Each structure stands twice: as structure tokens, then as C-alpha cells.
Structure 1
Amino acid sequence: MLRISLLLLLLLSTNLLFAQKKNQAQAQTNNAEGAITSKIKSYKSYKGYIEYFYDEKTDKIFLQIDKLDTELLYVVSLSAGIGSNDIGLDRLQLGGERIIKFAKRGPKVLMVEPNYRYRAISNNADERQAVEEAFAQSVLWGFKIEAEEGNKILVDATDFFIQDAHDVSGTLKSTGQGNYSVDKSRSAFYLPRTKNFPKNSEIEVTLTFTGQPAGGFIRSVTPTASSITVRQHHSFVELPDNNYKRRVFDPRAGYFSMGYYDYATPIDQPIEKRFITRHRLEKKDPNASLSEAVEPIIYYLDRGAPEPIRSALLDGARWWNQAFEAAGYKNAFQVELLPEDADPMDVRYNVINWVHRSTRGWSYGASVTDPRTGEIIKGHVSLGSLRVRQDYLIAEGLLAPYEEGKPVSKEMQELAVARLRQLSAHEVGHTIGLAHSYASSTEDLASVMDYPHPYVFLNNGKIDVSKAYDDKIGNWDKVAITWGYQDFPEGVNEEKALNDIIQQSLKNGLSFLSDQDARPTGSAHPYAHLWDNGKNPADELTRVLEVRAVALKNFGENNIKPGAPMATLEEVLVPIYFFHRYQIEATAKMIGGINYRYALRGDGQLITEMVSKEQQLKALNALLSTVTPATLLLSENIIKQIPPRPLGYGRHRELLKSRTDLAFDPLTAVETASDMTFAMLLHPARAARLIEHNGRNQNQPGLEFILDKLIEHTINAPEKMGIEGLAQQQINTSFINNLLKLATANESSAQVRGSALRKVQSIESSLNTKKYTQESWLSYRAAVLAKLTDFRVNPENYKPQQAPQPPPGQPIGQDFACDWH
């Protein structure tokens, strides 16, 4: 027994000695080869900006970091998306860009994001350090060191890349589609788009999210809604050199801005610094009136865009060369088809992407920008493919082109393609640094950075769409590019030269107003709006209503193709019935309106002025014409041609709401359309301005004056007969509902509530004494009085009735909704 024990002990010692010698031999080999070299010798190497290695056996990626404490740009994007505009996770969608650096801390490497929002632009290191330590930084990841070799560190970055860096799960949750998380067992690296280049490294992953679906949007675009697979892309990019020259932001010039707080600023100067975002562009000869660029700006179009769309997108984007030529550049802005071997996510390419969704949706002009300076490194446009079909649908509704025995007019496709040219120019404009310019539609289409409504007119009583969209860059666009991109010769006072460009544009009648002046439904500016036309909103509304009336008069079976179900007339009807909807919004802004500009002290611009009483009354009369049975009630000919939907053609979001089950409902259409006008007119902010303006100037129309006009037009109007009477009742109900909303809205001031309540009382009194003769009017009065009684008795518990919402209206698919309801 003792001999066996000694034998086992001897054997164990021999094995331990052998293992030790083997480990020593392996260590000597590793030292000879290098620890990293030994670790990755069986892995696939991707040489480039940050060299990395892929282990196919374990599906892991290892980063070789040799740039410690060196700042670089990190960009996350979504290369393969979900396809729902409502969710908002599209193919080729950019995420945010961040400056990061790798810092070694003991056995790990931290990915640190410095805080560039707060800086000290100073040569004093202590001053810079004081600011850096005053504000938090962000550590985005911690990597465990796998091996070191000289100044190189190898880390396993697999978990970093196989994470939800684009926050897909957060977006799904916030849009009500369910709670999802990454399932690593169904996720992997996507090698076809994992590449490396001298100045950027690109890694892509297939991510699968699992969870319980809760919303209809996600179910509509996924084969199995409990398992959602997308692809996310990670980019590490070398930052530009320090030769870019920043341009100080001017709110009058039309550019997006970037900024930061400089704590080294003298106390007599603003601490917040603002600069514009733009591409780097320099002339070969700054002294020449026309010079080639040192390096032109080149954009590339997605090869997935088919003809004739492809040519239209190329043409529209190329309009910008007109603006750069006006700024003194020769062929400085170019647009080409993306090379076959290029990746649209590669930061070396400015790209125009063609994106498919299940519904109409927004198009975007985004950029990858250097957070330090505002220099645009990559322009990235995403154009929704279904928008062109909406313009085609509008053309079908306007032209009724499918007349038996006649060829279909080419005007429809020409209109839709013209819109694509404008769309391409508009979104590229964003990626070169320009913001929306929403006053330009009142200044002879001065900018493609406005949102254009198709300009349709009557030519000898017939609808003409030949001038629906512009075919060139605008005068304001030339001013903006000259201001932002001009390369001034040495010795020129740049600040004065830039101001001279703006001053000359003001003399030429050009101005700039953007989103905050146009988008809110309660905003005050009478000339800044989306999807409008014309120098005067009220005149344009009257003109648009005339076009709409002709289109509806001609509406019938010729608006759909032979063989199409008659029920599909409703799809074509919707954009024509609501053809005036955005001109209503523009016109309503004249009521209680304030005309103003982004005035600087001493620049001579208008600061503020109230819209005149005459212009407000003109606008009010135009708006009242939109809430009459004559305008809103569809003809018997149209109503009887739209049957319930057949099998296979279910109801969807692009159709009118109905209270008559399967049958087409013309009266609810009246209610929906009239609610648009009253909701705009009776917005709390507009009502408050009416009271204020009247208090400052008795000649200005006050809120009670406007309310009296509305009551006269609705409640006190003569009793109409038959279907017209029913339409009038719907209009009156829309007015009363919006008046009650105004009286109860938290946003309404005490004066606004008081005025609204007084008018509610007068309406109740009027209805009690009114002599109605028709049964429908007597029933209507009973319903309204019951509503008003309920409101008077329980005002705290009263819940305003919401009108049925219209189908998505703008060509970008945004639902109409007041932001205070």
C-alpha cells in the first residue's frame, strides 16, 4: 500500500514538472511571438484605423488598441431597420455621434466620452483642467485586457458590439410596441459589412430582440412579432485635422448651430459660443470670382432607387451646384451614383438613401458632425419611397385621368417626379447645414428649404398641374450658401463681409424664419408655415378652395383605373377633400398674428408688428367659407359611388372615419373637416393674443369679437333643410366642442376662459329661444342643451368631445392634431 502511494506521488510530481516545463516553453514561445500575436494567430485580421480580429469559432471580435488617450469619433447607426414610420426605426438610420478615447485603468480599458459641452479655450492647463473636472464625463464601456504587446492592448469587444447601442428596445417601448431585449443566442456579427479602412473602422452586427408584442405597428411589419431582427452598425472614425475654420452662427443666415460654454471667456463677452454646421470647402484661388474647390463636396445616391426616381433624385440634389456657383465655386458640389463596392454606412461617403416603409413617412437630412467644431464629416439623407405615390394619388384626384378610350395623361408622373426633385434638394440642404426656411413660400418660392404644397391652378376652368413644384434652387438658398461657404481672400474683413451678404438679401426682400415660428398650431407668425403657398394666406385659401371645388365637381369613376373596386374612390377622394387643410392653418395664424423677423440690433429689420385688423377680417372671412355645407358636404353623385369595402380591401388609416359602420359617412367627414378650422381658430395661445392685442390697441379685433362672428356664422345662421341642415348641425357641433375645450383647457388664461364661458352661456340662451321647425333641428338642440347643461353643472368633470381625426394629411404622413388638445 505504501509502495502504491509513493508510486502515485512520484507520478504526480512528474506530471506537474512536465506541465510546468510545458507552460514555461509556451511562455517562452509567447514572449518570442508576442502575447497578442500568439493570441490572435488563428483569427482573421482586419487591418485599418483600429485593427481588429475575428474568431470564427466563437464569433468574437477583439480590438487591438494602440491609440490610448487619443480622441476619435464613434458613430452608431441602424443599417437594416423595421420598416414602420410610426415606430421610426428605418434602414440606414444614423444615431448620434460621440467623441471618445480609450484609457487604460489597471486590468481594463475604459471607453471615455469627454464633455465637450463645457470647455475652457485657454493655453492655461490648470484652467482647462478646472473645467474638465467640474462637469461629468461618460464612460461608455469597460473592456477586460486579454493581452498586451508593446504599446498595443488586445481587448474582447464582443459584448460591446452585441448590445443595443441604437436603443431599439427603448424606441419599441416608447411607441407602445412592447418590452424587448437582445437575445444573444440569436445575434451574431455580420461580416459582409464588417470592414476596415485607413481612417475608419466599421463593424456590423445582426441583433435579434425578443419579447411580447403589444402594438399593431410591430405586428404589421414583422413575420413573427415576438422576434425582431435588425442590424446595427458601429463606426470608429479618425477626427479631422485642425485646419477647419469655424464660422460664427448668425440666426438670420439659415444654418443649424452647434455650441458650447467657454469658461475662459472674458466677463464682458458671452460665455456661450455658437457656430454653424457645414462641410469643409475651400477655393483653390480665393481671389478668383469663380474657382474650383480644393476638394469638392460629393454626394452619392443609393443604387436601390429605380428609374425614373433615380434620375429625379440625382437632378434635384444637383440643384445645389447652382447655389455654390453663385458663391463663386466651379463644380464644387457633385452628385454621383454610389459605387457598387461602397457601403452607405462608410463615413467617407455622403449618401442619399432610398428607404422603404410600410406607410408614408418622414424623410430626413442628417449628418455626422465633429462635436468640437461643427464640421460636417458625412451627409446622410434618408428619403421615404412611398411619398412619391402620395403625390401620384393627389394627381389622380385632381385630374380624373382614367377616361374610357383615352390614354392616361403623363402629367401625373411628371408631378410626382417633380416633387422628388424638390424633396432630394430639400433633404440634401439639411445635410449641408441648412435649416427649414418657412417664409420662403410667400417670397416667390425663395428656398427649397420650405415645405411646398403643390401649386395647382385653374386654366380656362380646368385644373393645371404644370407648375406644381419648382425646378431650381431658390434665391434665398444662394444667399445662404454664399454666407456659409464663401472663402474670403486674405485681408477681407470676414465679419463685415458676412453681414453685407445678409443686409443685401434683406434689401432684396428675402427673410428667414424656421420651425419654431411655423410648426406650433398656436404660433403667431402670419407668413411662416408648412405646405402653404402665396404672398397672402387668405387670398391663397380662397384660390385653393376654387381648385378644390372644380376637382370635386369632376370627381367620379374616372379618378380610378378601370377594373378597380369602386370603393377605392375613397383613397383618391381623401387628399382632394382635405386639399385646403394646410392653407387653413396658414390663414388662421393671421388671427391674433404678429409679424416679426430675427432682428439684430441695428440691422434695420422689422422687429414686431400686429397683423392689421383688415387683414385679420379678410382671413376670418376666408376661414368661415371653409365651414359651410356648400364647401364641406359632398355631392350626391360622389356619395352614391362609394360603396362599402369589398372582401380583401379592409379599411385603413388613409380613409375617412365613419359612424355608419361599413357605409361611407359624408356627415362625419363634415365634422372632421370643420373641426380643423375651429381647432386652429380657438387655440388658447391665439385667444390670449387676441385679448392682449385688443387691450393694447382697441382697433385690433378681440377674442369676443371673433367669437361673436363664429356664433353668427354657426348657431345663429338660418336653419337649412335636409342633408344640408344635417351638415350645418355637424359644423355647429364642431364649433361648440372647440369652444368648450377653450373654456376648460389648462393652457387657457383666466381672461380666455371667462370670454369662452360667457359665449357658452349666450349660446345656451339662444338655443332655448330659437324656433326650429324640423325634427332633426329639434333633436340637435336637445343634444346640445344637454351637453351645455352637463358642462354648467359639472364643469370640473366635463370631458370635451374629440372629433374624428382625418387621415394622415401631409405628404410625410403626419396626423393633424392640435398640440394643446
Structure 2
Amino acid sequence: MRQKAFISNAKYVLILLFLLSNISAFSQKRKQKNTKSETTKDTTVTKTKGYAELIKKGTFKKGLFNTIQVKTDIYFEIPDSLMGREFLVVNKLSQVPMQVNEAGLNKGMNYENKVITFYKDTIAKKVWVKSYLPKVSSPENDAITESVKNNFSESIIEFFDIEAKNNDSTSVVIKVNKIFDGKQKSFNDILSNIGFGGSVKSDLSYIENVKTFPNNIIVKSQLTTLISEGGPALFVTLGATSNIVLLDKVPMKPRFSDKRIGYFTEKHWYFNDNQHAMVEKELITRWRLEPKKEDEDKYLKGELVEPKKPIVYYIDPSTPKQWRQYIIDGVHDWQAAFEKAGFKNAIIAKEPTEADTDFDVDDVRYSVITYAASPKANAMGPSVVDPRSGEILEADIIWWHNVMTSLHSWMRIQTGPIDPKARGNKFSDEHMGEAIRFVSSHEVGHTFGLKHNMGSSFAFEVDSLRSKDFTEKMGGTAPSIMDYARYNYVAQPEDSITAITPKIGEYDKYAIDWGYRWYPSETEEKEKLNMLIAKHQNDPIYFYGEQQDGGAIIDPRSQSEDLGNDAVKASEYGLKNLKRVVENILTWTYDKDESYYQTGKLYIGTIGQWQLYNRHVLNNIGGVYLNTTVHGDDKASYIPVPAAMQRKATDYLLKNVITIPEWLFFNSILDKTNPLKDSPIGPYEYTPYTLSRELQYGILYDLFRDERLLRMIENELYQRNNSKEKLFTVGNLFGKVHQHVFNGTIQNKSLSILERMTQKNYVDVLIVSTNKLFEKTDSKKSIQFTKTLNMPSLCNHIHEDKMIRNINQSSLKRVTEVTSEKKGELNKILRLLQLKKNTGNQETRNHYADLINRINKALNNSLLTN
């Protein structure tokens, strides 16, 4: 019994020891756990304590991201709720020194945009910033969507250490100096984007100001670089403004482009499981204009309603006061177009008032018509666009002060003969104001998403522009203010025309209706938009002609600065008026005791207008009407310019260019001044013989450009069985020009200086352009002809440098008929000169000997042997 009792007691002891041991272990674990908890708590305390210290030391501002500034350090407090959201970074110039101003860069210009997203990494204690191109879409539940995510992924562009957390750990604080003071290029690569290259001198750069608002943040910086190319080192400091804008979670519903109407676009790729191939579409750029929810039924019944959010433009306070109302009026002139789309009071232009306490020209919340003090004579209307949908978020019209010099030149030369108000060295503010209004309307049109419609002016019969009733009814020189149809140079003094300025026209109203009318469903939208285009597709008033490369015009309907549907007739009327200008240049520019600077400037402008007419006509030769067609519209896509028009155009050039107009180049004005063109070193004088020779050479070179002749050959081959109209062939062109240029030689006459000049130009064009056909295999370089004279231009910006359509007509040119035709013409000229080399006076015989020598040398070249 005692033994049993002992065993039993021992058992209890062991149990007790086991329990005590476990209690000790549990206590130790609990102690360790408490220690760990205290450590975590201490870390949190440190982070929150750091946050409190930052708030205490710095300046705190609430907004999209709360900002904290401690001396020169800038911190963003980013809430967890905004992690993973998409933002648009918009960078603009806000200040420029003279050196940059002279290079054509000015305040208000947008030079870099990108979509970014912030991601919090609690393990690495960092915030990562990623960027991507939002150009690809796929349905959320499709299998291919996983592949889309992996094949079009984001890239890391920046990181920030987490400096602190707010009190409840729902936001993190990061220090952002490096992305705004030039140390890093991730958010703002200003030098690369404006073409300077190099790097920012961070010790000479700093963050100037930070503002935060509910949906965006503005950071202004002064960034300095050192430029040493071509001279001593030069410090250049640029004012830069970076906007970080919160994008909507759900992008605006896009509207897909149609090539038959002119809108700027954003390209987008679409994938889905049911496709046999990816679909590429273009989204037009446009504002989000929608009726208020309570007005949708009224809108759909055809009543005019105010949009949920109107488009508002602010006039830069630095705009001279006398021009502000004209600029505002130019904006408001578009009201009628938006009423066509069902909206009233859709656009507002105003000056900022005291109520606009946060107004900042560089703030993307404000669309501003920025006035730039600069010698540059231009204006342009770019926009900030959400690339996910094409939604225009903000517009930046840049208005250069010296644009008025272009307006003055156009009006004086094009309308001076019919409008006494347009003749002096300075116009009245009222007259200049009306011109400013026209430019305002044109540039605002770009900010609605509209591209240039260079084919609009072709809708009007030339003689209609001489009709007072017609011009007053149509209200302008073309159906679209988005054309470069300037002032009415066709109208003659006896026509008594007063409506001579471009205005918003029927095409503009149609384009706004197509782009901005609201539809409740995608199905209805597509159906109604197609119906709208189909309704107007055969009416030239609604024709859209895309802008082309000015040096390679294919479709002569879509040219810059032209008027009417017959370039020859319009130019002949234009020449009559130019002769009136030349006769009055000395009178119109008279200013007692002043130099002849204004005289020389008006003189060269007149010559430039003459050359403009020449090119309008020239581009009909070998031209092709390019139509944007769709299945079922029964329209031809390619229509050669009628042969009769090509012959007429050739005759015009022979009469007015190949025969140099002495009334233009050799007259009494030269007793006082040569034609003058401004240059960086001051007014540059052109002597009449040299200038006429260069401009004639330019027309001849372009007339016999390979691409033009190849189009004529294509046309001859394609239409060889078409007996309806006699073709105008390359042979016909050479025959006409040869007969005209060598007419005096054929008749054994002594040639004048200008006749000899023309023959030399013609022969040299043939030699140079033929050599150029072989330049890939010829070590010798051919002469490059560059234009030396241009009329003032406007808004030469946005994405329209070259024609969108790419037509290959020039491959393997050296084995085409062009080579044979040019060499054949040189041989024909050589035979004529050898026959006539002893006719005419001594100067003529010397001239023939020179040409014979040149042609022989060219034809004996190993690359040109027959």
C-alpha cells in the first residue's frame, strides 16, 4: 500500500513538474510575443511620430495628395485609396530665356505627358511608380486578357522610400524632390523633350512652388542646363510646370474615327477571344460633352440643352486689352456649331476674375489662350488628351504676339486692291481685331479636335467668290475655317465684295455635329454617324481633304492658301490683283522720313504670293484626286486630274513663270529698294535677277520631279484604253516646255538675258534630277535645291506635317521611263543646240557653247551612257 501510495505521489509530482514547465514555456513565449508586439508598436510609433514631426516642422496643404514642405524638401502624402489609380503627368514650359524664345519655345507649350500609377510595397518599404502606354484593350473575362496584361505590361520608372505614415496608417509620405529638381528624368525629362539634350545642373535648379487641389497637383521648378555648342558655354534656366492629374476610374466612352471627316486621333488596339486578328481603331479626340441626366429626354427630342460641363477658355491676363474681346468673340463664334450638335452655351470664353482665386495659366484645370511675347509669328491650338479614351482634358492655345505681322501681310497683299483699310503700314485696331478673331476661331477649332481641312475651299466655284450675294450668304472663303483659305484674293475691285474673311462654315458645323452629338447607346451612335456621313458624302461642301506634305502634293484639291475649284482661274485673278499691289507699293508704304524697310517687306511678300499661285497651279500637273471611299458608296478612290486642266496648268506656268514676269521683278520699286526678308542678322536683300532665277528654278525642278512624272506614267498605263479623254502624258509635258523654252533658238533669234537664264535653268534641272536617279550608286552628290522664299504660315504644329496616306510610286526610279524621258529631252536639246550654235549674237553663241558642253559632260558620264 505504501509502495502504491509512493508511486501515486511520484506520478502527481511529475505531472506538477510538467505543468510548471509548460507554464514557464508559455510565459516565455508570451514574453517574446509581447516584446515583438512592442517592437512593431515602436516601429509604428516611429513612423507616426515622424509624420507628426513633419507636420510640425513644415507647411501642410490638403488636396489630391496632401503636401508637406519642410524648408526645401517636398513631401507627398499618398492615400492607400489612390494606390493603383491612374494619373496623367503633364509637363509645360512656364518661363523661357531669350535664347530659347528665339528657338521658338515659349510659355504654355506642353512638351511631355505620360500615364503613371503608384504602388505601395510594405516589405521593401517603398512606393514604386510604373508607367505604360494605355493603347490596348480586351474584355475583362476573356482568356486572352491575361496574355494582354503580360505582353503590354507596365514599366517601373521611379521609386520612393516611405518616410512616414499618417496616424491611422492609411497613407504614406514620400519625399519627391528628385523628380522635380532635375536629378531624375522619370517625371520630367525637359531637355530631351525640347531637343536640347544634356542634363540639368541640379545645384543651379530648385523647386519653386507646389500647389495641391482635389484632382491635381502642380509643381513649378527652375531647371538650369549648360549649352556650349558652337560658342562659349551658356547657362539656360527654364521654368517648368508639372501637373499630376487624377484620371477618372472609368474613361469616357470613345468615338471611333472615320477618314471622311477630320479629327485628331489616338490609336488603340483591341483583342478578344472571338477574333481571327487583332483590331486596330483610332479614337477621335474630343471633350466629354453630355446632357445633364434630367435633360436627356429633352435632348433626344431635339431641344437645345446646356451640357453637364461646358468647355471654358480663359484669356491670359498678359493679353493686350484691345485684343481680348476679339479673341473671346472668335471662341463664341463656335456656339452655332455646337447648337447643331444639340448643345447651347457649350463654350465659354472669359477673362479670369477675382472669383478665380486659384487661377494659374499652367494649371491643367484651366484651358487658357496664352499670349507669348515673342518675335515668332504664329499661333497654335494643342490639347491635353486622356490617351485611354481620346477625351480632351484641357486646351492650350499659344498666341504669339507677332502673329499680327502675318495677318498684316496676308490682308495687305490679298485684299489691299479691294479694301482701302488694308493698305497702310499699320491697320486700325478694329481691322486688325477682326483678323485676330478669325485666327482665334481657327485655333479653337483645333482644340475641339478638328484637323485642318485643306480640301474645303475646292467646294466653291472660283467665280462665286466674285459674287457679293454668294460671299455674303456663305460668310467666308471656304465651307470650313479649318482650311488654310485665307482672304479673298479672287475678288476684283469692281465686284464690291465685303465678305472677304474666313468664317466658320457648313463643314465645321457638320464636323462638330458628327463628333459631339450625344447618343444613348453605341449601336445607335454607329448607325446615326454613318447615316450623317452618307447623307453628305456627295456634296462638295462637306468634303474633307487631309493636309499633305507641302513639298509633295498629290491631290491638288487639298492645298494650303488656295481658293476655289480651279487653281488656274483663281491664280489669274490673283495675278491681276498682284499687279495692282505692285503698282501701289511705294504709295501704300510711304512714311515720311522713314526708310524703305516696309516697302521692301511688302515687295517680297508680293513675290511670295506670286510663287504661292505658281505652286497651286503646278500641283495639278500629274495630280490625282484622292477620295476616302467605303464599300457601297460607288465612288472612285483615285481620279487623275483631267487632262484639260493639266494642259491649262502647264500653259499658265509657261506664261507666268517660265517667262519671268518683268512687271514683278524689274520695275520702279528697285530704284528705292530690293525685296527684303528678315533674318537673324537683319533685313536680307534679294537682287531681282538672282531671286527670279532661284524661284523659276524651283518651279522647274518641281515640275519635273520624278514622283510627278511617275504619276503621269501610271495614269497613262491605267487609262490607255479610255478613249473618253485625251491623256496628258510626260511626252506632252516635255514637248510644251521644250517648244516654249527654245522658241527663240528655233527661230534663230538672239536671246535676252532672261531667255538664256531660263534655258540654263531647264537644262540644269534635267541634268541634276537625272543624276539624282542614280545617287545610290554614284559617289558624286547632286545639287540640292532648297526653297528660299515662303509666305507667312500659321499653326504649323500638330501632327500634320505629312499626308496620312502613303502611296508608293517611286521605288526603283532609275529603271523607269522617267530616266529615258529626261535623257531623251537632253539629247533633243543637244541636237537643236548643235544645229543652232552659230546663230544669234555673241552672247547667245557663248550660251549655246556652254550648254552643249554641260549636256555632253552629263551624257558622257558613265552612269548616263545610252
TM-score by length of structure 1 reads: 0.82
Matching residue of 1:344: 361
Distance 2:662 2:565 in 1: 23
Question: Does the alignment pair 1:523 with 2:553?
Answer: yes
Change (3 A) 1:38 1:757: same
Q: 1:767 aligns with which of 833, 849, 853?
A: 833
Q: 1:690 aligns with which of 690, 696, 712?
A: 712
Change (3 A) 1:643 1:120: closer
Distance 1:720 1:196 in 2: 83
The alignment of Structure 1 onto Structure 2 pairs a total of residues equal to 740
Q: Is the CA contact (8 Å cut-off) linking 1:147 and 1:154 kept in structure 2?
A: yes
Q: Deviations over 1:438-476 (max 9, x none)?
A: 1111124111111123223454479x8844422x31100
| One-letter amino acid matched to 1:425 | S
| One-letter amino acid matched to 2:848 | R
Show the 5 A alignment for 1:582-597. 582-597=612-627
Q: Deviations over 1:284-315 (max 9, x none)?
A: 33224222222222122222221432222211
Matching residue of 1:188: 206
Q: 1:117 offset after TM fit, Å?
A: 2.3
Matching residue of 1:117: 135
| One-letter amino acid matched to 1:116 | P
Question: Does the alignment pair 1:358 with 2:375?
Answer: yes
Q: 1:601 aligns with which of 620, 631, 651?
A: 631
Distance 2:500 2:834 in 1: 50
Distance 1:52 1:721 in 2: 88
Distance 1:547 1:581 in 2: 14
| One-letter amino acid matched to 1:326 | K
Q: 1:528 offset after TM fit, Å?
A: 0.6
Q: 1:580 aligns with which of 572, 597, 610?
A: 610
Q: Deviations over 1:344-363 (max 9, x none)?
A: 221111222222333334x3
Identity rate, percent: 23
Q: 1:610 offset after TM fit, Å?
A: 1.5
Q: 1:744 aligns with which of 747, 771, 782?
A: 771
Q: 1:245 offset after TM fit, Å?
A: 2.6
Q: 1:396 offset after TM fit, Å?
A: 4.8
Matching residue of 2:112: 96
Distance 1:334 1:607 in 2: 41
Distance 1:795 1:291 in 2: 75
Distance 1:653 1:753 in 2: 42
Q: Deviations over 1:347-391 (max 9, x none)?
A: 111222222333334x32211111111111112211222121122
Q: 1:275 aligns with which of 246, 269, 283?
A: 283
| One-letter amino acid matched to 1:228 | V
Q: 1:505 aligns with which of 526, 536, 544?
A: 536
Q: 1:55 aligns with which of 45, 65, 70?
A: 70
Distance 1:761 1:212 in 2: 53
Q: 1:482 offset after TM fit, Å?
A: 0.7
Distance 2:556 2:509 in 1: 24
Question: Does the alignment pair 1:296 with 2:310?
Answer: yes
Q: 2:220 aligns with which of 204, 221, 240?
A: 204
Q: Is the CA contact (8 Å cut-off) linking 2:371 and 2:398 kept in structure 1?
A: yes
Q: State which drifts further: 731-740 or 29-38.
A: 29-38
Q: 1:559 aligns with which of 583, 589, 607?
A: 589
Show the 5 A alignment for 1:574-653. 574-627=604-657, 628-630=659-661, 633-642=664-673
Change (3 A) 1:486 1:55: same
| One-letter amino acid matched to 1:278 | R
**Secondary structure, in 3 states, of the residue corresponding to 2:628?**
coil
Aligned-pair Cα RMSD in Å = 3.4
Q: Is the CA contact (8 Å cut-off) linking 2:555 and 2:625 kept in structure 1?
A: yes
Matching residue of 2:173: 154
Q: 1:321 aligns with which of 328, 335, 354?
A: 335
Q: 1:512 offset after TM fit, Å?
A: 3.8
| One-letter amino acid matched to 1:323 | A
**Secondary structure, in 3 states, of the residue corresponding to 1:116?**
coil
Q: Is the CA contact (8 Å cut-off) linking 1:324 and 1:332 kept in structure 2?
A: yes
Distance 1:411 1:213 in 2: 42
Matching residue of 1:455: 488
Q: State which drifts further: 577-586 or 91-100.
A: 577-586
Q: Deviations over 1:606-662 (max 9, x none)?
A: 4222211111111211222331223575233111111799xxx9965896664xxxx
Q: Is the CA contact (8 Å cut-off) linking 1:48 and 1:198 kept in structure 2?
A: yes
Question: Does the alignment pair 1:310 with 2:289?
Answer: no
Change (3 A) 1:692 1:434: same
Q: Deviations over 1:393-413 (max 9, x none)?
A: 344557889xxxx99698676
Show the 5 A alignment for 1:71-90. 71-81=86-96, 87-90=103-106
Question: Does the alignment pair 1:753 with 2:819?
Answer: yes
**Secondary structure, in 3 states, of the residue corresponding to 1:245?**
coil
Change (3 A) 1:675 1:86: farther
Matching residue of 1:387: 403
Q: Deviations over 1:322-342 (max 9, x none)?
A: 101122221112211234641
**Secondary structure, in 3 states, of the residue corresponding to 1:452?**
coil
Matching residue of 1:808: none
Q: 2:727 aligns with which of 673, 685, 700?
A: 700
TM-score by length of structure 2 reads: 0.78
| One-letter amino acid matched to 1:52 | T
**Secondary structure, in 3 states, of the residue corresponding to 1:234?**
strand
Distance 1:323 1:28 in 2: 62
Distance 1:653 1:607 in 2: 49
Q: Is the CA contact (8 Å cut-off) linking 1:186 and 1:208 kept in structure 2?
A: yes
Distance 1:789 1:138 in 2: 63
Change (3 A) 1:766 1:508: same
Q: Deviations over 1:171-193 (max 9, x none)?
A: 6657xxxx6431112211122xx
Q: Is the CA contact (8 Å cut-off) linking 1:574 and 1:655 kept in structure 2?
A: no
Q: Deviations over 1:537-580 (max 9, x none)?
A: 12112111111122112222542422221255222211111213
| One-letter amino acid matched to 2:192 | G
Change (3 A) 1:264 1:651: closer
Q: Is the CA contact (8 Å cut-off) linking 2:604 and 2:675 kept in structure 1?
A: no
Q: Is the CA contact (8 Å cut-off) linking 1:633 and 1:667 kept in structure 2?
A: no
Q: Deviations over 1:722-775 (max 9, x none)?
A: 999223333333333332333133554522122112212222332333355344
Question: Does the alignment pair 1:64 with 2:77?
Answer: yes
Q: Is the CA contact (8 Å cut-off) linking 2:217 and 2:243 kept in structure 1?
A: yes
Distance 1:81 1:432 in 2: 28
Change (3 A) 1:491 1:256: closer
| Higher helix content, 1 or 2 | 2
**Secondary structure, in 3 states, of the residue corresponding to 2:515?**
helix
Distance 1:79 1:336 in 2: 21
Change (3 A) 1:650 1:732: same
Matching residue of 2:387: 371
Distance 2:734 2:660 in 1: 20
| One-letter amino acid matched to 2:727 | Q
Distance 2:604 2:160 in 1: 56
Q: 1:38 aligns with which of 53, 74, 88?
A: 53
Matching residue of 2:524: 493
Q: Is the CA contact (8 Å cut-off) linking 2:314 and 2:350 kept in structure 1?
A: yes
| One-letter amino acid matched to 2:844 | W
Change (3 A) 1:644 1:459: closer
Q: Is the CA contact (8 Å cut-off) linking 2:85 and 2:249 kept in structure 1?
A: no
Distance 2:583 2:636 in 1: 44
Matching residue of 2:784: none
Q: Is the CA contact (8 Å cut-off) linking 2:132 and 2:155 kept in structure 1?
A: yes
Change (3 A) 1:138 1:315: same
Matching residue of 1:807: none
Distance 2:859 2:271 in 1: 57
